[in-house]
C-alpha cells in the first residue's frame, strides 16, 4: 500500500515524507435530534421557535429545542406550563417513530462515505463515528470529506457538527463540543481537547464533585495531573479519564450494519384532512427517498403509502410505475392521483412512505419499431383514466379459462416488449368475423314462442318480429358452485315495426326461465 | 443576362409580401393510410384509413361497424402497435375481439361507468335511452375526457371512440371544438382515431366517413347463422385525392364485404357437446 501511495506523494511535493495515519475517524454529531427529526420534513417550521416535549401529560418537559427557541428564552427541562407561557413558542410532542426513521436516514447518508460506522448516540443527540482511514483517494483529504458529508446530511435535512481525528474518542468529544468542521492533526489531540469542560466526559456525580473541589474544570487541567496520584485517589477508572483528556484512549471499533430501508415517517402535530397538506409532506419524502436510492445507483420500483387515520383505521396504497424511476415530479404526480382517487376516509395522524428499490431501467427503442406510449407518461395517463372511470374499468381484457359466455377479467395495462407479445400472442388476423356488442347488464325481454322457437320479442319500447332464429345453443357449467349457469342461446334476425332489421343474441336462462337480450351482432 | 432562376428569385422576393413563394409549388403531402384488414374496404379507401386523422364509421345497429373497427385493430396490433378502445356504453366484447385477431394485451380498454339503471332500447334500429331523465352525459363526458387524455399521451397507433350505442341526439351535442381538438391531437401524435357512431358527429374534423349498412345474413343450412354481408359507402373523404376520385359520380362508391360467424358457432357447438 505504501508503494502504491508513493507516486502521488511525490507529486504533492510538500507532503512528501508524510505517512498516512493508520487510523482516522470522523465523528458526526447531530444535536437536538428530536427537534431536527421533526423539523427536517417540515421546512416551514424551521423559521419558528420550536420546542419538543417528552414525557406523559401533565408531566411533560422540554427535551429538545431549536436555536430560535433558545433565543426566546426556552431551555431544556422546562415544564409544559413554563414553555406555554413563552409567546410564539411552538410545542411539538416527541415522536420516537420519526426519530427512528430519521436516524436510519442519517446513518445511511453517512454510510455513503464509509461502510464502517459506529453508533455513539447519547441522550438527545444522534452521533456516529466513521472509520475513514484509507478513504483519502476516494473522497479527498479529511476536510473535503467532512464538507461533502455535511452537504449530504444537509440534503437529508440535518445540521451537524464534524470532527476528524486519529483518535476515536477525541473525534467524538470534539464533535459534541464544537460547531462546524474540526480537523485535528495527528499528535495534536491533547491541545485540541484542552479547553473543553470536564463535563464532556460525562462523569458521575462523585468524581465530578471531587474535581470541582480540586479546581479542575477543563480537560487540559485533568491531563496535567500525575497519573499515579490520580489513580490513588479516584481509582483505576481515572486512568481512562486522563487518557481521554490527553486524546490517547484506545477504542475497539464496533461497526454496525446500516440497514438500507427506503422508508420515511412523519407524525403530524394535528390531524391532517387536506390532500394538499399531505402532498406537501409527501413531496419532501419522495425527494429524500429518491436521493437515497440514487446514491446507491438505484431507482424506486414502487411506493407504499401508509397512513394512520384518526378513526383508528389504517390506509395503505401501493403505487407501481411501469419502470423504476427517481423522477420526483412523476412520482409525486402518481401519488397525487392515487390519493385523489382513493382519499383517506378520516383525518390523517401520520404518514409513512416506503419504497422498494429497483434497478434503473433503460428501454432500448428499435429504429423500425412502432410507436408506443412513453412508460412514465402512460402511468400518469392510466392513473388519470382510473380516476375518471374507476380502478377496475381501465386495463387490458383477458379471457377467462372457462366456457361461460362473455367471461373476462381486467388486468393492468402495460407495454411489455410488444415484439415478443406479438409473436407469442395471436396469429395473423383472420377473416373478419361478426362482432358482438354486449348489453351490460343484459336487458330482459318478453319472447313469444312458436313450437319452442322465438317468433317475436319485445323490450319496454317496441315489438320485434323475428325473421329468422338460429338455435338453440345450450351451454351450462359450474353446476357444483354458486356460479352455475345453464343457458340457451338464439341468434335472431329481427325486424322492428319501423322496418329496421337487427341481428341479436337472445339468451334464455333455463334455471329461471327468463329471456334476455344479451348482445347485438355488429 | 440574368438566369431564369435569378429572375425567379427576384420576382418572388418582390412579391413576397403579397404572394409568399409565388413560383414555388406547394408541397403535396402524401396522406399515410393503414389497412383496415378487409381488402374490399381497403380498395374503397385506396389503401385504408388515414393515419393521424379522425375516421368515422357510422350506421345503425348490426351494420358491421364494430366488426370493421375490430378488423382494423387486429391489423394494428399484429404490427405490434398499441391501441385503445374507449367504450362509452361498455359494449365491447373481448371474445369477439380475440376472435377477430386483436392482441388483447396490446389493447387498453376504458369502460365508462354506467350510473343508475340505464337501459338501452331499440327504436327503429337505433339504440336509444328509454327515459328523458336518464341521459348518458356522465358516460359521454368520461369517454371524451378519456379520449382526450389518450390522444394527448401519444404512442397509441389507433384509438376507437365507441359511441355506437349512444343515441344520435346525444352524440350530436358534442361540441365541434372537441372534435377539432381531437383532430389536432391525432395529427400531432399520428394516432388514427376511429369514431363509431350511429350518425356522423365529427363533421368537418373527420377525414373519412364510412357509412355501414346491413345487407343480408348468410345461412346456407338454415340452421346456423354463418355470417352477414355488410355494405360500406364513403360518406365523406377530406383528402384532395379522394375529392378528385369521387368527382363526376352521382353516388359515392360502395363496397360489400362479409363477416363470418362460423368460428363462433363451431365454438358454441363444441360447448354444447361438452355441456
Task: Report the relative pairing of strands B158-162 and B126-128 from DSSP bridges.
Answer: unpaired
The string of pLDDT tens digits covering residues A30-55 is: 999 999 998 888 877 888 899 999 98
The x, y and z cell numbers of residue A338, run together, are 392515487
What one-character-per-residue DSSP string does chain B give? Answer: ---HHHHHHHHHHHTTTTSTTSSSPPPPPPPPEE--S-HHHHHHTTTSEETTSEEEEE-STTSSHHHHHHHHHHHHHHTT--EEEEETTS---HHHHHHTT--GGGEEEEE----SS---EEETTEEE-S-TTS-THHHHHHHHHHHHHHHHH---SEEEEE-TTS-HHHHTTS-HHHHHHHHHHHHHHT-EEEEEESS--SGGGEEEEEEEEEEEEE-TTSSS--EEEEEEEEEEE-SHHHHHHHTT-SS--EEEEEEE-HHHHHHHHHHHHH-
Greatest mean pLDDT among A140-144, B26-30, B137-141, B158-162: B158-162
Residue pair A366/A353 in contact by the 8 Å Cβ criterion = no
| Phi/psi of residue A348, nearest 5 degrees | -100, 130
CA distances from A380 to A322, A369, A384, B88, B109 (A): 10, 23, 6, 21, 16
Flag whether pLDDT at A341 surpasses 90. Answer: no
Flag whether pLDDT at B121 surpasses 60. Answer: no
Beta-strand runs (E) in A201-311: 262-272, 298-309
Test mutation, A394, A397, A517, chain B, max B CBs within 10 A: A397
Average pLDDT across chain A, whole number: 86
Residue pair A291/A155 in contact by the 8 Å Cβ criterion = yes
ipTM > 0.90 for the complex? no
Flag whether pLDDT at A210 surpasses 70. Answer: yes
Q: Which residue has the higher pLDDT, A195 or A5?
A: A195
Which chain B residues are closer than 8 Å to A401 by Cβ? none
Residue pair A400/A487 in contact by the 8 Å Cβ criterion = no
Q: Which residue has the higher pLDDT, A419 or B249?
A: A419
Cα A291 vs. chain centroid, distance in angstroms? 11
The string of pLDDT tens digits covering residues B191-200 is: 999 999 999 9
Q: Does B126 touch chain A (CB under 8 A)?
A: yes
Flag whether pLDDT at A472 surpasses 80. Answer: yes
Q: Do A389 and B119 touch (CB under 8 A)?
A: no
Task: Report the relative pairing of strands A408-411 and A436-444 from DSSP bridges.
Answer: unpaired
Per-residue pLDDT band at B96 (split at 50, 70, 90): very high
3-state class of A66 per DSSP? coil
- Residues whose CB falls within 8 Å of the CB of residue A86, separated by 6 or more in sequence, listed in order: A49, A72, A73, A74
* CB neighbour burial string for B125-144, b if at least 16 within 10 angstroms, e if fewer: bbbbbbeeeeebeebbebbb
Q: Which fold has domain A262-359?
A: Dna Ligase; domain 1 (3.30.1490)
Which chain A residues are closer than 8 Å to B123 by Cβ? 461-462, 496, 498
* Model pLDDT, residue A18: 47
Q: What spatial distance separates the first Cα and last Cα of chain B, rounded to whole Å?
A: 94
Enter the pTM of the model: 0.69
* CB neighbour burial string for B73-92, b if at least 16 within 10 angstroms, e if fewer: bbbbbbebbbbbbbbbbbbb
Q: Does B91 touch chain A (CB under 8 A)?
A: yes
How close does chain A come to B18, measured CA to CA in Å?
A: 41
- Average pLDDT score over residue span A502-520: 91
* Model pLDDT, residue B83: 94
Per-residue pLDDT band at B2 (split at 50, 70, 90): low
* Model pLDDT, residue B115: 59
Of the partner residues B122, B145, B258, the one whose CB lies closest to the CB of residue A388: B145
Flag whether pLDDT at A170 surpasses 90. Answer: yes
Q: Do B149 and A415 touch (CB under 8 A)?
A: no
Consecutive H or E run containing A465: strand A463-477
Per-residue pLDDT band at B273 (split at 50, 70, 90): very low
Which chain A residues are closer than 8 Å to B92 by Cβ? 397, 437-438
d(CA A97, CA B17) in angstroms, rounded, equals: 73
Which chain A residues are closer than 8 Å to B42 by Cβ? none
Q: Do B100 and A491 touch (CB under 8 A)?
A: no
Per-residue pLDDT band at B119 (split at 50, 70, 90): very low
Residue B103: closest C-alpha in chain A: A426
Q: What percent of chain A has pLDDT over 90?
A: 32
Q: Does B103 touch chain A (CB under 8 A)?
A: yes
Q: Does A462 touch chain B (CB under 8 A)?
A: yes
The string of pLDDT tens digits covering residues A296-319 is: 888 999 999 999 999 889 999 999
* Model pLDDT, residue B134: 53
Test mutation, B41, B81, B88, B153, chain A, max A CBs within 10 A: B153
The residues spanned by each domain of chain B are: 33-269
* Model pLDDT, residue B98: 92
| Bridge partners of residue A164, in order along the sequence | A26, A183
How many other C-beta atoms lie within 10 A of the C-beta of residue B148?
15
The string of pLDDT tens digits covering residues B206-263 is: 999 999 988 788 777 777 888 888 889 888 776 543 432 322 233 344 566 666 553 4
- Average pLDDT score over residue span A413-418: 71
Which chain B residues are closer than 8 Å to A493 by Cβ? 217, 225
* Model pLDDT, residue A317: 92
The residues spanned by each domain of chain A are: 262-359, 436-521
- Measuring CA to CA, which residue among B236, B275, B265 is closest to residue B50? B236
What one-character-per-residue DSSP string does A343-373 give? Answer: --SS-EEEEEEEEEEEEPP-----SSPPP--
Which chain A residues are closer than 8 Å to B104 by Cβ? 396-399, 425
What one-character-per-residue DSSP string does B114-157 give? Answer: --SS---EEETTEEE-S-TTS-THHHHHHHHHHHHHHHHH---S
Which chain A residues are closer than 8 Å to B224 by Cβ? 470
- Residues whose CB falls within 8 Å of the CB of residue B73, separated by 6 or more in sequence, listed in order: B83, B85, B97, B100, B102, B107, B158, B160
Rounded to 5°, angle at Cα A167 from A161 and A169: 60
B33-269 belongs to CATH 3.30.470.10: no
| Bridge partners of residue B127, in order along the sequence | B122
Per-residue pLDDT band at B29 (split at 50, 70, 90): low
d(CA B220, CA B229) in angstroms, rounded, equals: 13
d(CA A151, CA A145) in angstroms, rounded, equals: 10
Cis bond leading into A18, ω under 30°? no
* Model pLDDT, residue A2: 34
Q: Is A451 left (phi over 0), alpha (psi -120 to 50) or beta?
A: left
Helical segments of A342-445, H only: 375-389, 418-424
Flag whether pLDDT at A3 surpasses 60. Answer: no
Q: Which residue has the higher pLDDT, B269 or A449?
A: A449
Residue pair A289/A355 in contact by the 8 Å Cβ criterion = yes
Cα A282 vs. chain centroid, distance in angstroms? 9
The x, y and z cell numbers of residue B219, run together, are 345461412
Flag whether pLDDT at B268 surpasses 60. Answer: no
- Count of CB contacts below 8 A, A vs B? 280
* Model pLDDT, residue B192: 94
Greatest mean pLDDT among A93-97, A206-210, A339-343, B69-73: B69-73
Flag whether pLDDT at B274 surpasses 50. Answer: no
* Model pLDDT, residue B225: 84
The string of pLDDT tens digits covering residues A92-124 is: 888 888 898 899 889 888 888 998 999 998 888
Flag whether pLDDT at B46 surpasses 60. Answer: yes
d(CA A352, CA A23) in angstroms, rounded, equals: 39
Amino acid at each position: 500500500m505504501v508503494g502504491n501511495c508513493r507516486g502521488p506523494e511525490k507529486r504533492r511535493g510538500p507532503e512528501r515524507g508524510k505517512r498516512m495515519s493508520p487510523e482516522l475517524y470522523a465523528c458526526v454529531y447531530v444535536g437536538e435530534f428530536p427537534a431536527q427529526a421533526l423539523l427536517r420534513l417540515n421546512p416551514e417550521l424551521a423559521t419558528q421557535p420550536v420546542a419538543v416535549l417528552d414525557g406523559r401529560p401533565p408531566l411533560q418537559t422540554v427535551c429538545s429545542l431549536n436555536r430560535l427557541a433558545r433565543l426566546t428564552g426556552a431551555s431544556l427541562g422546562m415544564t409544559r406550563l413554563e414553555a406555554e407561557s413563552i409567546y410564539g413558542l411552538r410545542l411539538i410532542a416527541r415522536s420516537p417513530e420519526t426519530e427512528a426513521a430519521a436516524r436510519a436516514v442519517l446513518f445511511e447518508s453517512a454510510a455513503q462515505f464509509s461502510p464502517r460506522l459506529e453508533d455513539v448516540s447519547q441522550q438527545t443527540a444522534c452521533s456516529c463515528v466513521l472509520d475513514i482511514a484509507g478513504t483519502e483517494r476516494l473522497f479527498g483529504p479529511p476536510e473535503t470529506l467532512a464538507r461533502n458529508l455535511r452537504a449530504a446530511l444537509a440534503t437529508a435535512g440535518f445540521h451537524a457538527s464534524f470532527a476528524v481525528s486519529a483518535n476515536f474518542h477525541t473525534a467524538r468529544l470534539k464533535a459534541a463540543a464544537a460547531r462546524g468542521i474540526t480537523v485535528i492533526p495527528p499528535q495534536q489531540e491533547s491541545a485540541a481537547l484542552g479547553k473543553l469542560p470536564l463535563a464532556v466526559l460525562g462523569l458521575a456525580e462523585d468524581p465530578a464533585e471531587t474535581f470541582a473541589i480540586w479546581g479542575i474544570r477543563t480537560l487540559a487541567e485533568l491531563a496535567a495531573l500525575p497519573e499515579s496520584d490520580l489513580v490513588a485517589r479516584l481509582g483505576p477508572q481515572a486512568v481512562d479519564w486522563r487518557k481521554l483528556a490527553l486524546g490517547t484512549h484506545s477504542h475497539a471499533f464496533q461497526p454496525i450494519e446500516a440497514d438500507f430501508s427506503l422508508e420515511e415517517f412523519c407524525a403530524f402535530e394535528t390531524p391532517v384532512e387536506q390532500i394538499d397538506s399531505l402532498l406537501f409532506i409527501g413531496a419532501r419524502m419522495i425527494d429524500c427517498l429518491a436521493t437515497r436510492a440514487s446514491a446507491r445507483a438505484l431507482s424506486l420500483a414502487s411506493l407504499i403509502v401508509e397512513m394512520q387515520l384518526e378513526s383508528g383505521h389504517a390506509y395503505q396504497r401501493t403505487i407501481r410505475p411501469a419502470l423504476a424511476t427517481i423522477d420526483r415530479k412523476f412520482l409525486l404526480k402518481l401519488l397525487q392521483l392515487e390519493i385523489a382517487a382513493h382519499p383517506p376516509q378520516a383525518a390523517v395522524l401520520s404518514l409513512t412512505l416506503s419504497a422498494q428499490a429497483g434497478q434503473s431501467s433503460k428501454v432500448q427503442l428499435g429504429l423500425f419499431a412502432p410507436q408506443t406510449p412513453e412508460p412514465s407518461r402512460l402511468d400518469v395517463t392510466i392513473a388519470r383514466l382510473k380516476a375518471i372511470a374507476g380502478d377496475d374499468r381501465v386495463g387490458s381484457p383477458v379471457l377467462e379459462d372457462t366456457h361461460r359466455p362473455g367471461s373476462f377479467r381486467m388486468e393492468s395495462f402495460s407495454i411489455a416488449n410488444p415484439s415478443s407479445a406479438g409473436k407469442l400472442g395471436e396469429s395473423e388476423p383472420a377473416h373478419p368475423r361478426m362482432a358482438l356488442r354486449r348489453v351490460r347488464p343484459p336487458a330482459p325481454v318478453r319472447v313469444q314462442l312458436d313450437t319452442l322457437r322465438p317468433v317475436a320479442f319485445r323490450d319496454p319500447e317496441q315489438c320485434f318480429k323475428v325473421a329468422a332464429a338460429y338455435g338453440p345453443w345450450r351451454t351450462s357449467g359450474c353446476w357444483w358452485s354458486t356460479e352455475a349457469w345453464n343457458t340457451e342461446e338464439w341468434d335472431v334476425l329481427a325486424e322492428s315495426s319501423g322496418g329496421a332489421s337487427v341481428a341479436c343474441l337472445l339468451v334464455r336462462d333455463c334455471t329461471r326461465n327468463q329471456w334476455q337480450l344479451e348482445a347485438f351482432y355488429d | 443576362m440574368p438566369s431564369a432562376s435569378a429572375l425567379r428569385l427576384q420576382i418572388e422576393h418582390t412579391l413576397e409580401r403579397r404572394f409568399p413563394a409565388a413560383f414555388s409549388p406547394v408541397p403535396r403531402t402524401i396522406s399515410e393510410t393503414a389497412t383496415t384488414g378487409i381488402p374490399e374496404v381497403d380498395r374503397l379507401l385506396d389503401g385504408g384509413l388515414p393515419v393521424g386523422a379522425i375516421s368515422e364509421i357510422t350506421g345503425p345497429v348490426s351494420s358491421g361497424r364494430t366488426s370493421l373497427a375490430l378488423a382494423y385493430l387486429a391489423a394494428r396490433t399484429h404490427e405490434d402497435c398499441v391501441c385503445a378502445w374507449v367504450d362509452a356504453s361498455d359494449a365491447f366484447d373481448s371474445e369477439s375481439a380475440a376472435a377477430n385477431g386483436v392482441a388483447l394485451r396490446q389493447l387498453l380498454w376504458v369502460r365508462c361507468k354506467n350510473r343508475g339503471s340505464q337501459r338501452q332500447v331499440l327504436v327503429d334500429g337505433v339504440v336509444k335511452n328509454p327515459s328523458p331523465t336518464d341521459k348518458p352525459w356522465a358516460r359521454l363526458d368520461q369517454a371524451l375526457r378519456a379520449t382526450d387524455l389518450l390522444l394527448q399521451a401519444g404512442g397509441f397507433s389507433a384509438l376507437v371512440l365507441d359511441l355506437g350505442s349512444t343515441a344520435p341526439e346525444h352524440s350530436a351535442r358534442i361540441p365541434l371544438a372537441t372534435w377539432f381538438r381531437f383532430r389536432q391531437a391525432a395529427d400531432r401524435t399520428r394516432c388514427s382515431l376511429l369514431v363509431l357512431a350511429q350518425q356522423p358527429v365529427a363533421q368537418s374534423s373527420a377525414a373519412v366517413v364510412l357509412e355501414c349498412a346491413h345487407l343480408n345474413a348468410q345461412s346456407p343450412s338454415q340452421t346456423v347463422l354463418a355470417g352477414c354481408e355488410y355494405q360500406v359507402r364513403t360518406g365523406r373523404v377530406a383528402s384532395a385525392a379522394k375529392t378528385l376520385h369521387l368527382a363526376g359520380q352521382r353516388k359515392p362508391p360502395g363496397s360489400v364485404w362479409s363477416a363470418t360467424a362460423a368460428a363462433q358457432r363451431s365454438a358454441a357447438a363444441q360447448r354444447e357437446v361438452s355441456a
